[in-house]
A and B are shown apart, each in its own frame.
Chain A
Amino acid sequence: MDFSWSEDQTALRDDVIAFAATLNEGLRDRERVGEFPSEAWKRSADFGLLSMSVSSAHNASGIDTDLMTAALAMEALGYGCRDNGLNLALATHMWAVQHPIETFGTEEQKDRYLPPMTAGSMIGAHALSEPEAGSDHIALQTRAQHVSGGYRLSGTKRFITLGPVADVALVFATTDPDKGRWGITAFLVETASEGCQIGPVRDKMGLRTVPMSNLEFTDCFVPESNRLGLEGAGASISAGALGIERCFILATQVGSMARQLEEAIEFARTRRQFGQPVGKFQSVSNRIVDMKLALTTSQLLLHKVAWMIQQEQRFTLESALLKLLLSESFVESSLAAIRTYGGAGYLTEQEAERDLRDAVGGLLYAGTNDIQRVLVARVLGL
């Protein structure tokens, strides 16, 4: 077992951290009004970040990145970039849309969508959830009816990350509700298509720089060439994509926690009360030790899951555990940081409270933590 990174990997990590720090400009203002940072998105593509989930044959950078290195890069992104909304947006686009196209798409689909997506000129959204089908996605009601040359989609997709700015959506619909999971099929739907309507931006507690909306489909024609994978393989494609997504979307949170820890230590060493640094009080230092413990265990499990994916091992159980550990650790770490700063941590200008609001979203997206526990219990035979 080798836990070390190569010189090339650590050099890339340092480059990503330095680049990611440049994405923070104007964050407080855009977070307050919920503005999507289009310019930062394009710069991320130019840097090569969006290309890291796609092979060089189809990405804009022309560089191959293995999955372990990509996980490290996502971690570095979270460390350098404080905009958790942008981090989620980039990760969703990369791992919940581009990666499934790379994995399940035809050569024609890869050639058409992946170069502009990795170049930052086309934005992708993952459209699975519905008003009556959240965790129980097999019960989805969006219909895909066979017509000459393709399908017509009708239905509503809810809580779609990047929905308001998406050019293409990976949409899951059923060709036959009576078939249950065997009716579910994946489609690449261009949002400019007639019959596809983007709903209003939904205001939310955190992650305010990544816009979210519903997507409505009304007899929206999708050519057969835009079906992703076989008809009826949608449930498995979705499950595979969500497993990858849980690993790489949450990877940025490991970086965020590392930054929170360093800043909390620095504060606890320099802030003095009762004639000594506050870090000398065990009530403070114990909390920081717990932050370190959460970071270290999260990081280890992240690297293990990324390794399992790279080895093409099945990782359903481990990715569910990772989702639970990482998202809950980020909430705890964010709260611990605020408590360490005291009253100052409660102020928006300290920029600690934003992490806590953002972290709560992680308990819900990419499969709620409640359903992850159900999944783990079932895999354990309970």
Chain B
Amino acid sequence: MEAILKDYIEAQMREMDEHVDLDVGDDLVAIGFDSIAYVRLIAFIEDRFGLSIPDSEVTIEHFGTIGNIAAYLEGSGVTVKGGGAG
């Protein structure tokens, strides 16, 4: 799951002319991931993993880093097997 998120976020950053090699613990806001990027990320996650994320749960604890997001999704029951979303 972390790999899927990393690929997506790095691709978004490239669209913003920011070429980064992300670590799962990197602070996304600090590297320039802005509010519109988050809108797109959440839409991507909902579509890719088939869940609905309440706005009230988009906090630093859940969405601050790739690791946080992966943990949040796993806690929400999302699993990834063989590159697909479970």
Contacts and interface: CB of A to CB of B under 8 A. Distances in A.
Interface residues of B, number: 22
B35 A316 contact: no
Chain A, interface residues (CB within 8 Å), range: 20 to 34
Contact of A314 (B35, B36, B43, B61): B43
Interface string B44-75: 00100000100111111100100000000000
Given A181-B29, A379-B36, A230 B43 contact: no
Interface of A, secondary structure class, is helix
B17 interface: no
B39 A179 contact: no
A316 B58 CA distance: 15
A95 to B, nearest CB: 15
Contacts of B37: 378
A237 B55 contact: yes
Contacts of B29: 179-182
Contacts of B60: 179, 182, 232
Contact of A375 (B15, B36, B58): B36
Interface centre among A103, A229, A236, A381 (most CB of B within 10 A): A236
Nearest to A137: B35
A138 B55 contact: no
A374 B34 CA distance: 13
A233 B64 CA distance: 12
B11 to A, nearest CB: 9
B78 interface: no
Given A236-B59, A375-B39, A379-B39, 16 more contacts: A180-B29, A180-B30, A181-B35, A182-B29, A182-B59, A182-B64, A231-B59, A232-B60, A236-B55, A236-B57, A239-B35, A239-B55, A314-B43, A316-B39, A378-B40, A381-B15
A320 to B, nearest CB: 10
